A and B are shown apart, each in its own frame.
Chain A
Amino acid sequence: DTGVSQNPRHKITKRGQNVTFRCDPISEHNRLYWYRQTLGQGPEFLTYFQNEAQLEKSRLLSDRFSAERPKGSFSTLEIQRTEQGDSAMYLCASSFPGLGLDNEQFFGPGTRLTVL
């Protein structure tokens, strides 16, 4: 399967713990995005990378959140000192401008985070 993959699919943690999620984009895609989706809502943008450069971060991305894409391939999203309000589905998407239509993003299956 050459789609976007995310690991783990589910994560249950206790408040105050740190968690890290991984996203592997479609191999030829140089743009990678992180979104967060809470129950009953559409996804909300968190941050995006072009190759290894993080080009934009949303105000939703507090200081406890950090994202990296060290070699321009896979990306990690870390949440430090988790809070119950961090419980959500974390979605990763990738795209390649010039391949298909601009802004056309393809999503992974998501990581469901539950903070107890």
Chain B
Amino acid sequence: TQLLEQSPQFLSIQEGENLTVYCNSSSVFSSLQWYRQEPGEGPVLLVTVVTGGEVKKLKRLTFQFGDARKDSSLHITAAQPGDTGLYLCAGGGGAQKLVFGQGTRLTINP
């Protein structure tokens, strides 16, 4: 069974600080996606990483896929209150389904 573990599960920081969220597994994934979810809404796709060692940037967000394609990280620079939300990593779980981590609930305080 493929599992993804995210850490930390909760993170509360001040506006302007930097942070990193981790997504780890003992399994190899063909790709990993990062989503952000607001309360009462569905997840919104932020990025997909495919190649081991790949780094993608989305404004102040930097996503990295581990060399062995078993882990990924999300780094946010100079966090803003608008970054508040639930961040989910998800990997290809075979037969096209996605396996999700339990999420990191991020709160950015003004």
Contacts and interface: CB of A to CB of B under 8 A. Distances in A.
A55 B90 CA distance: 20
Interface residues of B, number: 26
A105 B30 contact: no
B33 to A, nearest CB: 7
A105 B41 contact: no
A51 to B, nearest CB: 13
B22 to A, nearest CB: 15
Interface string A33-61: 10100001111110010000001101000
Contacts, number: 78
Interface string B12-37: 00000000000000000011010100
Given A56-B97, A95-B96, A102-B92, A42 B102 contact: yes
B contact patch SS = loop
A101 B98 contact: no
Given A45-B93, A108-B42, A109-B42, A102 B31 contact: yes
Interface in A16-41: 31, 33, 35, 40-41
B48 interface: yes
A103 interface: yes
Contacts of B35: 107
